[in-house]
Amino acid sequence: MKYGRIVGWGKYAPARVLTNDDLARMVDTSDEWIVARTGIRRRHMAGEGETTATMSVEASRAALARAGLLPQDLDLIILATTSPDYFVPPASSMVQDMLGAKCGAFQLQAGCTGFVYGLATAQAFISTGLHKNILVIGTETISRNVDWQDRETCVLFGDGAGAVVVQACDEPTGVLSFVLGSDGSGAQHLRVGIGAREVITPEVIAGGGHFLRMNGREVFKFATHVMGHAAAEAISQAGMTLSDVDLLIPHQANLRIIELAARHLGLPMDKVFVNIQEYGNTSAASIPIALVEAIEQGRCKEGDTLCLVGFGAGLTWAAAVVRWGVSERPFAMSLFAPIARARTQAGVTLRTAQTVAGMQVTMARHQLQKRAGKAVEVAKSAASAALLPLYTRVDKWHTRDKRE
């Protein structure tokens, strides 16, 4: 079985920052009110010319550079987002073109859990041997679908992008297990009310149907229930216990939800990564941005076990257990690994030599046949020339006899 190891990572956050004090000048709220209920202090907002596609490209270029790969090395691009540039075409194809990649690409929509869904999808492709290098991106430009007069939602969301390169390897590392779930009975609690069912009309826009709407109380209840359960299930599927987890990287939606999930799991907060104060809720970009920052801050070390867990619109949930880096081989495997590599290289060298020798034999045979053919033709010509006088005399005798 092949494992999907994360070999490259990158993030992008727009330069424009919107603080809680900025929001207090726009809507009836305050820094104290927002921090007490969410833990958020600021969020990044996409500027002019910045879109889901452009931010995805910036994060992806960083991930590819870290992996030491070119866009042409990619076999697949998976972009998780709920805020694509257009309904059609998918932002994934725009990202593929902007990167200069020559591979398939598709857009995945599973709310805030989209990145973990994408990571699980990449692992499925890799484990079957279909692909070797897959780019998984989580990007959102939610600020453009927020009602800035609705303090229940406008204080929560921000924009940004995170990306990882997942590469096939033989070591038991990378994505070890994942859990995906959905409960559509709660779909109405977090939605943007436009699409094929409710098309955009002046009446829909006047009523604010194109804005993101959320039933905060119901989403909070759902999240606090499902986050801990999903993480525990993924850890169990990996054949581990909670004591094996070195760092929990949750979806950054609300600090109180994160704290309750950690308490449910029995994890101290020093084993939980939190950056919600800087970015707010960036939906599908939340977990990859947090992962990249955890790496940059030295919170992920070689051999560490990470648990990524989130919840989102749908309502959906997802969790994945990731072993960071390549786990150490047992002593015996380490001892014989050079021999195995030498044997593999010798096999390649032998097959190459056999191929070259075979080509040389074939070419020599063709040359010999060509020379033999020429020799036969020369002999035929010489024989014909030697016999020509005899043919001439015989012909003359035959003609004379017929006349007589």
Distances (CA, A) of 273 to 117, 166, 342: 20, 21, 42
DSSP 222-280: HHHHHHHHHHHHHHHHTT--GGG-SEEEE--S-HHHHHHHHHHHT--GGGB---HHHH-
Question: Which tokens belong to 372?
Answer: 């033999």
Nearest to 80 by CA among 52, 120, 114: 114
Largest CA distance in the chain: 138
Q: Left (φ > 0), alpha (ψ -120 to 50) or beta: where does 39 sit?
A: left
DSSP 85-127: S-SSS-HHHHHHHHHT--SEEEEE-BTBTHHHHHHHHHHHHHH
- Show which residues are catalytic: 112, 251, 281
241: burial class by Cβ within 10 Å (0-12, 13-18, 19+)? exposed
The one-letter amino acid code at 396 reads K
Q: Are strands 316-323 and 174-182 parallel, antiparallel or unpaired?
A: antiparallel
Residues 22 and 246: their CA atoms lie apart, in Å, by 37
Helix, strand or coil, per DSSP, at residue 171: coil
Residues 138 and 91: their CA atoms lie apart, in Å, by 11
Query: DSSP code of 157?
Result: B
Angle (nearest 5°) at CA 78 between 286 and 135 = 85
Residues 350 and 56: their CA atoms lie apart, in Å, by 45
Cis peptide before 389 (omega within 30 of 0): no
Spatial strand order of the sheet with 133-140 comes to 3-12, 160-169, 133-140, 76-80, 104-108
